Amino acid sequence: MYTVAQLVGGVWGAGGDGGELVVRDPADDTPVSTVPVATADEVGKATQAARNAAAQWAATAPAERAAALHRAADAVAAVIDELAAAVTAEMGKPLADARGGVEAGIGTLRQYAELAPLRGGRTLNGEADALDFLTPQPRGVVAAITPWNDPVAVSCGLLGAALVTGNVVLYKPSERTPATGWLLARALDQALPAGVLSLLTGGPEVGAALAAQEVDVVAHVGSTATGRAIAAAAARTGAKLLLENGGSDPLIVDAGVDPEWAAEQAALGAFANAGQICVAVERLYVHREVADDFVAALVRRAEALRLGPGRDPGTELGPLVDRRHRDHVHGQVAAAVADGARVRVGGEVPDGPGAFYPATVVTDCRHDMPLVREETFGPVAPVVVVDSFDEALRCAADSPYGLAATVLTRSMSHAQRAWRELPVGTVKVNAVFGGAPGGAAHPRRASGQGFGYGPELLDEFTATKAVHIEAPGGGHW
C-alpha cells in the first residue's frame, strides 16, 4: 500500500487537509494507495511558494539545469521497477507495457536534457551600431495536470521540458495514478533545488483550483471536457495554454489490402493498453471488398487475447482503469447495439472483481453513432463498411477531434490524399503506431492546441523576447 505525500515549497508531507482518496487495483479491487487531497488554500500557497523559487531557477545556467535533469533521469531509472509496479497496480496495464512507459519517460528526460542547452534565439540584422536579437526566456510557473493512461511517459515529457527550460512546476498527477506521480516526483526532486518542483494531489477539484491560479502556463494532458474547463479558467488569468486532449482516431482499410495484415494492425491499434491510448484506433472504415475477411480475422485476434491482471506475465489485455470507466465503455457499446449494431465478439461485462472488459468487435455500425463519433477509450473496434476510398476519407475527416489517423492502403495516390486532406495532427500510413524520434504535431480542434511532444515542446515553455540595444546618447558606451 502506497501512502502518498504532497511536496509544497520544498517540504514533503505538507497539507492534504482536503481529505483522503483511496485508489483500488482495477484487477481485484484491493486498496493500493491512500492519497491526501489538497485544499484550494493549499493550492494557492503552493503557487506562491513556487513563484518565490522561480527567479533563482530561471537564472541558473542552462547547462546546469540540463545536468540536473540528467541526474533526475538517473534517479527515475533507479526506481524503474517500483514505478512500473505502481502503474500496473493503479491503472492495470500489463507490467511489460508499464515498464516500457517508464523507459520512454526516462528517454524523454534525457533528450530534453541534451536538447535544451542547444536551443537559442537568433540575431537580427539591424543598424550597424545596434544589437538586435530574439532570446527565449523561462515563462515562470507551470501547472502540469496529467492523466493516468501512460502516466510516467506523459509526465516526464511535460515536467522535463518545463524544468529544463527554467520554469518551476506545480505537478498534479491523475487521481487514478497518484502513487505513480508521487514516486516520480520523489525521484525528480532528489536532483532539483528545493521548491523547483511541487506535487499536489487530489481529484478534479484540485486540478480546477490549480488552473485558476495566477500561473504562467497551464499544461494539460487529458480529456477534452477538462481541457475546455481549463481553457475557460486560463482565459480569466491570462495563462498560456498547452492542451493535449481526447481523440477519436479513424483507421481506413482500403480495397486491395491483405485482410489478415489489416486485422493485425487494427487489433494492435484498438486493443493495446485496453484501448486506453490517446491515439488508439477508435473507428474503422473498411472497404466492402475486404470487409468480411477483415472482420473475421479481427474477431479471431480479439478472441485470442489473454485477459488478466497486468502483473501476470501472460496477460495481453489488462483491466480498464476502473468500473466508472468500464460503465462508460460498455454504455457506448450497448447504445450502438440498441441502434442496430452487432457485437461479433466481446461486448459483455464479465462477472467477478475488477474492471475487466473483453476485446470487442462491433459491426453494422453507422458513422453517426456515438460509439463511432465519440472517444470510447476502451478495447472496442466499431466497423463501418464503406463503398469507396472517397467515402472513407470523408467520414474519417468528419469528426470533432483532430489527433491522428491511420490508412492501410496499397495505393500511393490514396496515401498522398490521406496525409494531405485529413485535418489531424498525425497521419500514419500502413502502420498504426511508430514514427521517427522527435515527432511532434499540432492536434486540431477538440484534441487540443500546442506541441505536446518533441523538441518543439521546449519552445512552448519559453517566451521569446525581442531585444534592441543602442549606444547611449552621444554615441559612446
Binding mask 239-268 for ligand NAD (x = CB under 6 A): -----xxxx---------------------
Distance in angstroms (rounded) separating the CA atoms of residues 442 and 14: 37
Binding mask 87-126 for ligand NAD (x = CB under 6 A): ----------------------------------------
Identify how many contiguous H helices and E strands the chain contains and give both numbers. Answer: 15, 23
Using CB under 6 A, pick the residue from 57, 182, 357, 377 that binds ligand NAD: 377
Nearer residue to ligand NAD within complex by CB, 66 or 162: 162
Q: Cell 476510398 maps to which residue?
A: 389
Alpha-helical segments (H) within 422-469 = 456-460
- With CB atoms as reference, the residue minimizing the distance to ligand NAD is 207
- Least distance to ligand NAD, CB of residue 210, Å: 7
> Please, are residues 443 and 245 in contact by the beta-carbon 8 Å criterion?
yes
- Least distance to ligand NAD, CB of residue 96, Å: 19
* The one catalytic residue among 156, 278, 365, 395: 278
* The one catalytic residue among 244, 374, 375, 460: 244
- Least distance to ligand NAD, CB of residue 227, Å: 7
* C-alpha cell at position 202: 487530489
Q: Which phi and psi (to 5°) does residue 415 adopt?
A: -60, -45
- Least distance to ligand NAD, CB of residue 406, Å: 16
Using CB under 6 A, pick the residue from 88, 165, 167, 174 that binds ligand NAD: 174
Q: Which long-range contacts (CB under 8 A, 24 or more apart) does 453-460 make?
A: 453/157, 455/115, 455/119, 457/112, 457/157, 457/158, 457/161, 458/112, 458/115, 458/116, 458/119, 458/161, 458/164, 458/165, 459/119, 459/136, 460/161, 460/217, 460/219, 460/240, 460/242
Using the rule CB under 6 A, is 204 a contact of ligand NAD?
yes
Q: Which phi and psi (to 5°) does residue 200 adopt?
A: -120, 135
Q: Which stretch binds ligand NAD (CB under 6 A): 100-108, 146-154, 182-190, 353-361?
A: 146-154
Using the rule CB under 6 A, is 208 a contact of ligand NAD?
yes
Distance in angstroms (rounded) separating the CA atoms of residues 40 and 386: 51
Helix or strand run (H / E) with residue 249: strand 249-253
How many residues appear in the chain?
477
Q: Cell 475546455 maps to which residue?
A: 228
Using CB under 6 A, pick the residue from 4, 7, 217, 221 that binds ligand NAD: 221
Nearer residue to ligand NAD within complex by CB, 274 or 295: 274
Q: Which residues are catalytic?
A: 244, 278
Judged by the rule CB under 6 A, the positions of this chain that interact with ligand NAD are 145-149, 154, 172, 174-175, 203-204, 207-208, 211, 221-223, 226, 229-230, 244-247, 278, 375, 377, 403, 443, 448, 452
